[in-house]
Amino acid sequence: MAKEFRLPDIGEGLTEAEIVRWLVAEGERVEADQPVVEVETDKAVVEIPSPYAGIVLQHGGAEGETLAVGSVLVVIGEPGESSVPAVPLAPAEQPAVASAAPIVGTISEVAEDLSAPPVEALETGQVKALPIVRKLAREMGVDLNQVVGSGPGGRITREDVLAAVGAAAGGPLPEPEPQPAPEPEPEPAPAPGPQPEGATQPASTEDVRRPMSRLRRTIAANMARSWAEIPHVTTFDDIDATRLLEIRSALGARYELKLPLEALVVKAVIPALETFPEFNATLDGDDLIVHGSHHIGIAVDTPDGLLVAVIRDAGSKGVLELASEVRRLGEGAKARSLSPDEVSGQTFTVSNIGALGGGHGTPIVPPGTTAILSVGRAQEKAIVIDGELAIAPVMPLSLSYDHRVIDGGLGRRFMALVRENLEEPALFLAG
């Protein structure tokens, strides 16, 4: 009997996901726990395994289409069966997804929510489209009554709406039947007059509406939420990075690796978080939840936008282990292969804007945390050491924090301890 597998919630608060690539085509056989589709969530691209073995009778959407959690992802059955299950599955009959074949990243389990009510396409007359597609159409000014759906059962997909936008940019959206008569060729435009020497002609003067990517929309929503909810205060400092860079170079030479600066910064920050736990906390209404573990977020610049990868239990790791985690998470973030658990749940964040040549900045505190430390690029500058003028690598620090939880005095004391640790790494390496 054909069985429906509905899109599960594979991340905290996930409401929808975009189909990136089908790994098993319609009509092909899939085994239980074999990855059947690759989807993109707000922050990660993951593979979802099939809970059943059988023939893929129908895909729930085309590549590039967005599906809501709980909607049909794929229908699996036997050769010759209908793609519509004869009898809906009862909750008790639903097999759990085995953890033997983890999703890309390190997700060990995927909760299959077959009992969740499906999000059906809403219909008005003959128009079939998911709510999220209708929302996109409203934002783009597209009349769905003028769009021919390419999805299953004539359903209008996200791609159909975007195609309609492109068609509208060049003129009215044509009716599918009858074919409109060809328009007369426009008169050739007069040749432009002589241009001043060295002047360039712009490629186009037309405005272009470009939908933001899913990741960029997520970043925008988080930044807007943080800025609206959190009263930010940013304090600045500079450190003499001579010893820090010497230690980094010595460890790199001993272990024949390029030691990420973030590994040393995280190690230096842990004692400060232990001394001032307000910086490793979450404000929940009138309560402050002080976290017992230190899950440190590392800001990663990726081709798709800024991602924060999370080092779990960073306080229990040595410098070399932290270095390995920074490299692994950085590569995974750029490849969009990290699991939802690896891009969420940080309790404090470190952003190395120096890797991009940055100096001081005003970092925005991520939602659910109380502070973020930004580290700039070390540059040779004149400083005073023991009353004498000297040249040393000076590294800028910027600390933003939630003023509802942390006052200026506490912020300066936290920064002073971080500065002391970074200027003399022996203080935190001995721990």
| Cα-to-chain-centroid distance, residue 312 | 17
- 261 contacts 248 by C-beta, under 8 angstroms: yes
> Which tokens sit at 353?
């804007």
CATH topology of domain 122-169: Dihydrolipoamide Transferase (4.10.320)
Choose among 17, 131, 11: nearest CA to 63.
Answer: 17
- 360 contacts 237 by C-beta, under 8 angstroms: no
- The neighbour count for residue 99, using CB atoms within 10 Å, is 13
Side-chain half-sphere CA neighbours of 193 within 13 A: 1
> Which tokens sit at 363?
């970092």
Choose among 231, 251, 243, 285: nearest CA to 411.
Answer: 231
**Cα separation, 117 vs 6, whole angstroms:** 9
Would 3-93 and 122-169 be classified into the same CATH topology?
Answer: no
Catalytic residue among 232, 291, 360, 403: 403
| 388-402/232-240 β-pairing | antiparallel
What's the pLDDT score for residue 421? 96
Grouping H, G, I as helix, E, B as strand and the rest as coil, residue 415 is helix
How long a stretch of residues is the chain? 431
Residue in the structure block whose two tokens are 């573990």: 293
**Cα separation, 38 vs 61, whole angstroms:** 12
**Cα separation, 406 vs 283, whole angstroms:** 11
Choose among 262, 348, 327, 336: nearest CA to 305.
Answer: 336
Among positive and negative, which fits the CA dihedral 202, 206, 207, 208?
A: negative
- 140 contacts 209 by C-beta, under 8 angstroms: yes
Per residue in 220-238, is it b (16+ CB within 10 Å) or e — as a string?
Answer: eebeeebeeebeebbeebb
Residue type at position 274: E
**Cα separation, 361 vs 418, whole angstroms:** 17
Residue in the structure block whose two tokens are 């860079």: 245
What's the pLDDT score for residue 386? 83
Choose among 142, 187, 184, 186: nearest CA to 167.
Answer: 142
- 232 contacts 406 by C-beta, under 8 angstroms: no
Q: What are the pLDDT tens digits along the chain (431 aa)?
A: 788 999 887 765 677 888 888 999 988 999 988 899 988 876 677 888 898 899 999 999 998 888 888 899 999 988 877 666 544 443 434 443 333 333 232 222 332 333 333 333 444 445 666 555 666 777 677 888 888 877 656 767 777 777 787 666 554 444 444 444 445 555 555 555 555 555 555 567 889 888 888 778 888 888 898 999 999 999 999 999 999 999 999 999 999 999 999 999 999 999 999 999 999 999 999 999 999 999 999 999 888 788 899 999 999 999 999 999 999 999 998 888 888 889 889 999 999 998 888 899 999 999 999 999 999 999 998 888 888 898 999 999 999 999 999 999 999 999 999 999 999 999 998 76
> The pTM is what?
0.61
What's the pLDDT score for residue 214? 76
Start-to-end CA span in the chain (Å): 61
**Cα separation, 336 vs 38, whole angstroms:** 11
CATH class assigned to 3-93:
mainly beta
Grouping H, G, I as helix, E, B as strand and the rest as coil, residue 49 is strand
Residue in the structure block whose two tokens are 């790199």: 252
Grouping H, G, I as helix, E, B as strand and the rest as coil, residue 36 is strand
Give the list of residues 6+ apart from residue 91 with CB closer than 8 angstroms, or none: 114, 115
Listed by start position, the domains of the chain span 3-93, 122-169, 215-429
Give the list of residues 6+ apart from residue 264 with CB closer than 8 angstroms, or none: 244, 247, 248, 319, 422, 425
**Cα separation, 70 vs 52, whole angstroms:** 17
Residue in the structure block whose two tokens are 């978080």: 273
Choose among 192, 194, 202, 1: nearest CA to 87.
Answer: 1
> Is residue 403 annotated as part of the catalytic site, yes or no?
yes
> Which tokens sit at 395?
């590294």
CATH topology of domain 215-429: Chloramphenicol Acetyltransferase (3.30.559)
> Which tokens sit at 72?
């049909």
Give the list of residues 6+ apart from residue 418 with CB closer than 8 angstroms, or none: 268, 269, 272, 373, 397, 399
Choose among 113, 127, 22: nearest CA to 71.
Answer: 113
